[in-house]
Structure 1
Amino acid sequence: MQVRRSVADRAPPSPPLALNSSILIVGAGTWGSSTALHLARRGYRDIVVLDSYPIPSPISAGNDINKILELSSSAPRGSAERYVSDKLAEDAIRGWKQDPVYKGLYHETGAVTAATSERGREALNEGDGYSEANGWTPLKTKEDFRKTMPAGVLTGNFPGWQGWYKKDGCGWVQARRALQNTILEAKRLGVTFITGERGQVISLVYEDADVKGVVVTEGPAFRADRVILCAGANAARIFDLKDQLRPSAWTLAHIKMTPEETKLYRNLPVLFNIERGFFMEPDEDNHELKICDEHPGYCNWETSPDGTQRVSTPFAYHQIPIEAEERTRSFLRDTMPHLADRPFSFARICWCADTPNRSFLISRHPDYPSLVLGVGGSGHGFSYIPAIGSVIADCLEDVMDPKQKQLFRWRPETAVDRDWSDLQDRFGPEGSNHVMDFQRVKAWTNIDYSRREPRL
């Protein structure tokens, strides 16, 4: 819903951007928090971040114990896409290693990447990303895979698996701590975070052919000189993005590990099969191993309130479909069958938003000069939390790198007659190699959290 004010209520045009300009950021997830931090570091003094959920948000993909960090690009060398990807990766790695907010949260443990089907292996080996020339070692037998980790970890037979192993330049990051640290540092620098109904944005305020603020569920509208939309999977509910975002969700589960197992599993390389799933070492706080089943994503297709279109509506839920549990346990039977029947201690769905080509959408809106868009993480946005806020701040200040500006531009022409079932270069096991619909899920897990220890 777009709320337009009457002529009598119209505010004067926004003043030129200055350090005392009022800035509203919609969304306190990965990109919104990073943007707030970078703007505060640049000296902006009036920054307010709005989110309907408590922080860190239970719906944010970044609110997770860990995330894979492997920032190599498959784009052709010399292309604009490769330039942008490499530059952003360099900035992110520098942040993970040197920025006090993130230093110590990146674990360079290496990675195992694999596929199972012929089609999956062909996709994995496209381009020059995975090769011995780039430091990757080929893996072709179960013994090859087992040797990448200590004895007793990978006990499976890896049926049909082939892949690659690299011991440096990749690993995992402590995601929730990175998100929390970002928020805490932004607060220390004077950023205000407002959550709940007062922070639940339902639309933008349009005046004088521009955006002048946001309308929230409770209380008067917030007005500002600039509005930055970083609402992730919920962005399309607030502003018409011309089908450039597809809110999609993925599924994860945890299993409890003993102290002895946690010690054995420490500093393991990430293991990721592009068709089956992935895991990395247990978190040190709760001694839980996170496992994700791999698939092209779930949408939650509903009819829009005005009845004119089909929309994917995000929701928070700390259970997963039974079919996702079965995929997770099948992945474990391939790799660690000794854990395959262990009960889940935690599970949830997490949301992201795909652009048609999975490039980010970071742009000043062509029709509303005071509106900046920072959306479209497309499943690979979290790795850049140390640097992505700087890119969005550059966009606000109109000093973006020209190649970034072109690649991340407002591009509704790419979403005309969009195929909502497009796999977007993702894979899943047989029977789940398609975009799924939560509306068709027949049964969910029933994990009892009543005795669960408080989480971070």
Structure 2
Amino acid sequence: MANEFPDNIIIVGAGVFGLSTALAIARRFPSTKVTVIDRCTPPVQDGTSVDTSKILRPDYVDKVYEKLADEAQALIKNDPELQPHYFERGFTFCTDGQDGEMNTLWEQMFDNIKETQPAARWNELKDPESVYRHLHGKNGDPTPTSKLAGPRKWIKGYTSKRCATVNAEGMVKVYYERCCQKHNIDFVVGTPVDRLLYDAYSSVDGVVLEDGRELRAQKTILATGAWSSRLVNLDQQMHANAVGIAYFRLSSEEYEKYKDIPCHTNLVTGVNIFTPLGGYLKILRRTTGLRNTTTLKDPEDFTKTYQASYPLTKLDDPTQTLSADMEQSIREEMREILPQFANHPFAQTKFCWLEQTTNGEFLICPHPKFNNLHLATGGSLHGWKFLPLLGEFVVDSISGTLEDLLVKKWSWESKADSKQNKFGFMTPGPNIVPLPIVRPKPGERTPPIKTQARGATILPNFVGLKFQVHNGKIYNDVTITEAMVGHKLGEFSP
């Protein structure tokens, strides 16, 4: 039986879950007022939903996700506004061939594609030479083992030709612009949500912003991803993890050579190589997720605190960089599979924060304790590809019309009872705090740190560093002195 749909709704979070939900409500319930809140104007630069590239892959062992991913990819591919950001280059899944959980997962995935897809839509790479030449051309020879730091890791693989790479930021911008065109969707940006607003009967009436403003609605939807733990205690449901990302700037010749390569992933080492976009080659190191363990007020009892991993991005600390061991591991992988980039300087590095549920399933359900609070989060490294469908699922969940199978998969209870992430994704790893600051060697010239984090507090270890701070129009040069400590970066870039 369908539920009565609210007259007004607050959505906290303007990523793919939040924006797609706002659009689905506007289409299906045009009289419902929707307010979307985020600390930044979409596309939110440090949000999980926004990156240079994301992968659309319908290759699941789980038949439910495979069907939904196929449907979502077709919708994206045939959307005239999204299509310019869509590049169907395929996706190559590799392994080291050694016994273990990830190799077993690879075999299951390969068996599935052989059973369900015609031979023209996939090809097998049976040895290291085939894997290497798939990237470099038929005359390429793999790096000699004597030049590697250890045993070969890119031993075999297969390519699924139906997978695609997308410009994630471009697609999120399209969704944001569509929201702006709807008469019943408003945005409140620039000020983070401080806490949920509760009444005396364990119901959520809306939110309180950090500046003290109260915004009320009949239903509040949390689409806050890795930032959720500040607003609701999800300790038994999901955790915020970070993965390291590095970018290589390509020459025009390099870009021309590699622009059409498929994405590659090594399931064992956790390194992803993305189809180049915009002149840059993106490398992601997945493996064990990094944490930023923080003491937070328990949203359910402000007299208590609890420990949770909470995102720390370059908008918070523009000096962030990858650790030396993370950089070394990326370069060792490059030495085997893309040796010409092994010693190239990184054009940029960052951490991408992801919300990972305990079983890899989304969290789309009412909160079991607080009335009028709905959860739409838990992308778990694979939610992005369902962009056109996520909002429909959330609206169905609120309406009480979501398919029973999906209700069970995305329920609160399914996470609390789970002991294993069936997709083989990350487990929480070491902390990233304090993050190292790389300072120039004597006589070495390094480019300034470019940032839009005007609200970042200048810390003592910033002294001597050079920044380019955006003022809304241009980047201004700022060299940090001791007198600036404690101030905001934006004060020196008017």
TM range (shorter): 0.7 to 0.9
The residue that corresponds to 2:309 in the other structure is: 312
Q: Distance in 2 between matches of 1:385 and 1:129?
A: 27
Q: Which residue of 1 aligns with 2:82?
A: 102
Q: Residue 402 of structure 1 corresponds to which residue in structure 2?
A: 404
> Residue 132 of structure 2 contacts residue 140 of structure 2 at CA under 8 Å; is this kept in 1?
yes
Report the CA distance between 1:241 and its aligned residue. 2.7
**Paired AA for residue 16 in structure 2:** T
Identify which of 25, 28, 47 aligns with 2:34: 47
Aligned to 2:359: 357
Please, which runs of 5 or more residues in structure 2 have no aligned partner? 146-151, 298-302, 315-319, 441-446, 451-466, 475-494
The 5 Å alignment of 1:227-242 reads: 227-242=220-235
Partner in structure 1 of residue 94 of structure 2: 114
Tell me how far apart the structure 2 counterparts of residues 64 and 445 of structure 1 sit (CA, whole Å): 26
CA deviation after TM superposition for structure 1 residue 360, in Å: 0.5
Cα distance in 2 between the residues matched to 1:57 and 1:445: 28
How far has the Cα of 1:393 moved from its partner? 1.5
How far off is 1:124 after superposition? 1.6
Q: Is the 8 A contact 1:274 1:426 kept in 2?
A: no
Q: Is the partner of 2:199 in helix, strand or coil?
A: strand
Equivalent residue of 1:239, what SS? coil
Of 253, 275, 278, which residue of structure 1 is paired with 2:272? 278
How far does residue 65 in structure 1 lie from its aligned partner after superposition?
A: 0.7
Alignment-derived partner of residue 106 in structure 2: 124
1 CA distance for matches of 2:112 and 2:332?
26
Give, in whole Å, the separation in 2 of the partners of 1:37 and 1:60: 19
- Label 1:367 to 1:131 Cα distance change in 2 as closer, same or farther (>3 A): closer
Q: Which residue of 2 aligns with 1:291?
A: 283
Aligned mate of 2:294, from 291, 297, 302: 302
Q: Rate the CA distance shift 1:333–1:155 in 2: closer, same or farther, 3 A.
A: farther
CA distance 1:393–1:101, change in 2 (3 Å): farther
Aligned pairs (5 A) from 1:56-455: 56-75=43-62, 82-83=63-64, 85-116=65-96, 117-119=98-100, 120-126=102-108, 129=111, 132-133=114-115, 134=117, 135=119, 136-151=122-137, 156-157=142-143, 159-190=152-183, 191-197=185-191, 199-276=192-269, 277-284=271-278, 287-305=279-297, 308-317=305-314, 319-411=321-413, 414=416, 425-426=424-425, 435-439=429-433, 448-450=448-450
Matching residue of 1:11: none
After superposition, the Cα gap between the structure-2 partners of 1:448 and 1:332, relative to the gap in structure 1 and judged at 3 Å, is farther
Distance 1:88 1:235, change over 3 A: same
Q: Are residue 37 (structure 1) and residue 29 (structure 2) matched?
A: no
Cα pair 1:92 1:385 within 8 Å, conserved: yes
Give per-residue Cα distances to partners, 1:271-324, cap 9 Å, x unaligned: 11123311122213xx11111123121111233346753211211125322222
Output one character per residue of 1:248-283: Cα deviation in whole Å (capped at 9) or x when no partner: 111101111111211111221111112331112221
| Residues 163 and 392 of structure 1, relative CA distance in 2, 3 Å threshold | farther
- Which residue pairs with 2:486 in the alignment? none
Contact conserved, 1:248 with 1:312, CA < 8 A, in 2?
yes
**In 2, Cα distance between the equivalents of 1:256 and 1:413?**
40
Confirm or deny: 8 A CA contact 1:132 1:138 kept in the other structure: no
- The separation in 1 between residues aligned to 2:308 and 2:92, in whole angstroms, is 36
Deviation string, structure 1 residues 391-441 (Cα, Å, up to 9, x no partner)? 11111222111111111112177269x89xx897247xxxxx972221375
The one-letter code sitting in structure 2 at the alignment partner of 1:314 is: P
Cα RMSD (Å): 3.0
Superimposed CA distance per residue, residues 130-185 of structure 1 (whole angstroms, 9 cap, x where no aligned partner):
55444443323232113324539976438242333335211211111111111111
Distance in structure 2 (CA, Å) of the matches to 1:204 and 1:129: 50
Displacement, 1:61? 1.6
Q: Which residue of 1 is the match for residue 487 of structure 2?
A: none
**Letter of the structure 1 residue corresponding to residue 106 of structure 2:** L
Separation in 1, partners of 2:72, 2:105: 26
Counterparts of 1:366 and 1:434 in 2: how far apart (Å)? 25
Q: Work out the percentage of aligned pairs sharing the same amino acid.
A: 24
Secondary structure in structure 2 of the residue aligned to 1:251 = strand
Read off the aligned partner of 2:85 and give its amino acid letter: L
CA distance in 1: counterparts of 2:406 and 2:141, whole angstroms: 44
Q: Give the AA of the match of 1:25.
A: I
Does structure 2 retain, via aligned residues, the 8 Å contact 1:319–1:348? yes
1:143–1:243: structure 2 CA closer, same or farther, 3 Å change rule? same
1:62 and 1:293 map into 2 onto residues whose CA distance is 17
**3-state SS in 2 of match to 1:374:** strand
TM-score, scaled to structure 2: 0.77
* SS at 2:42 equivalent: coil
Rounded to whole Å, the distance in 1 between the matches of 2:86 and 2:131 is: 23
Q: 1:444, CA displacement in angstroms?
A: 5.8
Residue deviations 1:82-118 (CA, integer Å, cap 9, x gap) = 33x1342133112212234422322221121111243
| Partner SS, residue 294 of structure 1 | strand
- The one-letter amino acid of 1:49's match is V
Q: 1:441 to 1:319 in 2, by over 3 A?
A: closer
Amino acid at match of 1:281: T
Secondary structure at 1:88 match in 2: helix
**CA–CA separation in structure 1 for the residues paired with 2:222 and 2:18:** 8
In 2: Cα distance, 1:65 partner to 1:168 partner: 21
**Alpha carbons 2:129, 2:141 under 8 Å: kept:** no
1:17 equivalent in alignment to 2:9: no
Q: Which amino acid aligns with 2:104?
A: E
TM-superposed deviation, 1:375: 1.1
In 2, Cα distance between equivalents of 1:303 and 1:424: 29
Mapped partners of 1:389, 1:153: distance in 2: 47
TM-score by length of 1: 0.83
Mapped contact 2:357–2:415 kept (Cα < 8 A)? no
Deviates more, 1:121-130 or 1:357-366: 121-130
Measured at CA, do residues 424 and 438 of structure 1 come closer, stay the same or move farther in structure 2, by a change above 3 Å?
A: farther
